Amino acid sequence: MNVKEVFAQAIYKQTEISLEQIYRLIEVPKHPSLGDLAFPCFLLAKTWKKSPASIAEQIAQSITEDCFSKVEANGPYVNGFIHRESFTISVLNQILYERENYGTLSDGAGKTIVIDFSSPNIAKPFSMGHLRSTVIGNALSNIAQKCGYNAVKINHLGDWGTQFGKLMAAFKHWGDEDKVRKQPIAELFTLYTKFHEEAEIHPQLIDEGRQWFKKLEDGDSEAVYLWKWFREESLKEFSKIYQLLNISFDSFAGEAFYNDKMGETIEKLQGQNLLEVSDGAEVVDLTDVSLPPCLIKKSDGATLYATRDLTAALYRQEHYQFSKALYVVGHEQSVHFQQVFAVLEKMGYPWAKSMIHVPFGLYLQNGKKMSTRKGRVILLENVLQETIRLAEQNIEQKNPTLENKKEVAKQVGVGAVIFHDLKNYRMNNIEFSLEQMLTFEGETGPYVQYTFARACSILQKGNWNINSNFSLKKLATNDVVNDDSWELIKLLFSFSNQVQQAFIQLDPSIIAKYTVDVAKCFNKYYSKVKILTNNNGLQERLALVYAVTVVLKNGLQLIGVDAPKSM
């Protein structure tokens, strides 16, 4: 039980409010002189028929738990001061013992969560627009695993649909096989862009694209050959990106995987009398839940995204028995997922309530949305290669004798791109800026990485050896319990709560911002305390520094960023 829970329990004994409500009401005072925890008594005034200040006085006098050095009333607040030395020893020993397991929770023990993320369209370049789903989904997978879940990472590739008919039509009109073989993605992207430009002048091209897709669905040999070729070349290109980002998946089952499974889904809908005919198309009416009808089959017999997503959900539940399913897809698809989840509920599946759409904002270029169709994109591989190059340049200038320069440059360059995305609340739009990504100041990946490397350097200079099973019994000096270190200790202690909140809110920015807070707090402590110059209390100070490295590394790993020991 942590000290906040102890504080809540002590107050609970004196009141009629639920323990959960008390826990939610407990605050952290804005100034350390007011204590470490505070409970406002306004809510009790009506039932106790006393002023909040007198209630606070009464409750404060009744709390005698050992983990508090004192509990006092301050106006309408009950303020608790945690016993610094015993708490510090407890937190540091826990981190020293648990190390990479520090902050791990058991909330999801025995449960499976499936996370659908990244999901690029084949035959299109992997742009900055795809980055958000990829890194948010990967971070949520890591956070879910830290919470005890078995996380199944699914890359639901966009490898089916009318866009392939358009691409085939474009290839037949203007394609050059040799050019495509030399630069598959770049050339296919050029053809796709040209198709849309020409279609504005010659609208009949749209019908031609539809016809090619229908051929594909019907198993036409030429259409299938082109589709397989486009798909294989795309996957080769995508694998380069995923290797750079150090992201892996448990499944690459894309839209095409469900082609032979959709018939069963449609039969189930028919069997439950959920399908209606509307303008020749088959739909599920959703007016009772204030949603537009969910299109299952077009008038020409072609299936739609909803048909595949319904089928995918049924398949995933059957194969993974998930307790929760996340779809990390842009906010513009919100209505689509509301429809899919509503149809599954109408089909009588209780697990449909455990399916969650995790939307996010856009990457903007000069304030405008990036568009593959209009050719307005920034290629992610180019960005990653450029940030790696700039990081390598920076290392050459500042630390030319560094070992493994290329590997560290990759960790810093790629980490900068990931961190720049994840430090933002996922619903916010992000303006693309290479300069902001790579700065070593402020809320950036390189700043946190550099702080970690600095802490590692201190440990090396102090000959810190964690393998000695060092354990704190008491503190030799007050260096580890002064005001600056105390704020750091409380931050380190809150790691598991940050993990839990990031999962509850499905927001990796909580972890990214937390690592920045820890880095700032440590740098403040480092600037004021001479860690290595005094042997008295040296091991305690090094233990604190080591605890910082554990938490920073764990936090960065959760969001998919490496922590180099030297930079």
DSSP string, 420-435: HHHTS-TTS-EE--HH
What sign results for the dihedral spanned by CA atoms 332, 338, 341, 342? Answer: negative
Q: What is the signed CA dihedral for 426, 429, 434, 437, rounded to 10 degrees?
A: -30
Contact 383, 129 (CB under 8 A): no
What pLDDT is attached to residue 374? 56
In the chain, CATH 1.10.730.10 covers: 380-558
| Separation CA 102–CA 94 (nearest Å) | 8
The CATH number fitting domain 3-82, selected from 3.40.190.10, 2.40.40.20, 3.40.980.10, 3.30.1360.70 = 3.30.1360.70
Phi/psi of residue 358, nearest 5 degrees? -105, 90
What pLDDT is attached to residue 355? 98
What pLDDT is attached to residue 475? 74
Q: Is 380-558 a CATH 3.30.870.10 domain?
A: no
Instruction: Say how far residue 244 (Cα) sits from the centre of its chain.
Output: 18
Nearest to 325, CA basis, from 334, 336, 312: 312
Phi/psi of residue 8, nearest 5 degrees? -65, -45
Contact 291, 339 (CB under 8 A): yes
Contact 554, 143 (CB under 8 A): no
In the chain, CATH 3.30.1360.70 covers: 3-82
| Separation CA 132–CA 369 (nearest Å) | 13
Two structure tokens written together for 228 = 């397989």
How far lies 476's CA from each of 89, 296, 460, 539, in Å?
Answer: 11, 71, 21, 9
| CB half-sphere exposure, 19, CA atoms < 13 A | 8
What pLDDT is attached to residue 1? 57
Question: Could you tell me the mean pLDDT of each successive run of 10 residues in the chain, 567 residues long?
Answer: 86 90 92 93 93 96 90 96 91 93 95 97 84 97 98 95 91 92 86 92 93 90 94 88 96 93 95 93 95 90 86 98 97 96 98 97 78 66 91 91 94 96 94 78 92 97 80 72 87 94 97 98 93 87 96 98 95
| Separation CA 388–CA 397 (nearest Å) | 14
Radius of gyration of the chain (CA): 28
| Separation CA 137–CA 32 (nearest Å) | 37
What pLDDT is attached to residue 405? 94
| Separation CA 375–CA 531 (nearest Å) | 55
What pLDDT is attached to residue 392? 93
**Model pTM score:** 0.91
How far lies 62's CA from each of 10, 13, 82, 83, in Å?
Answer: 8, 9, 16, 17
Quote the Cα angle for 420-421-423, to 5°. 70
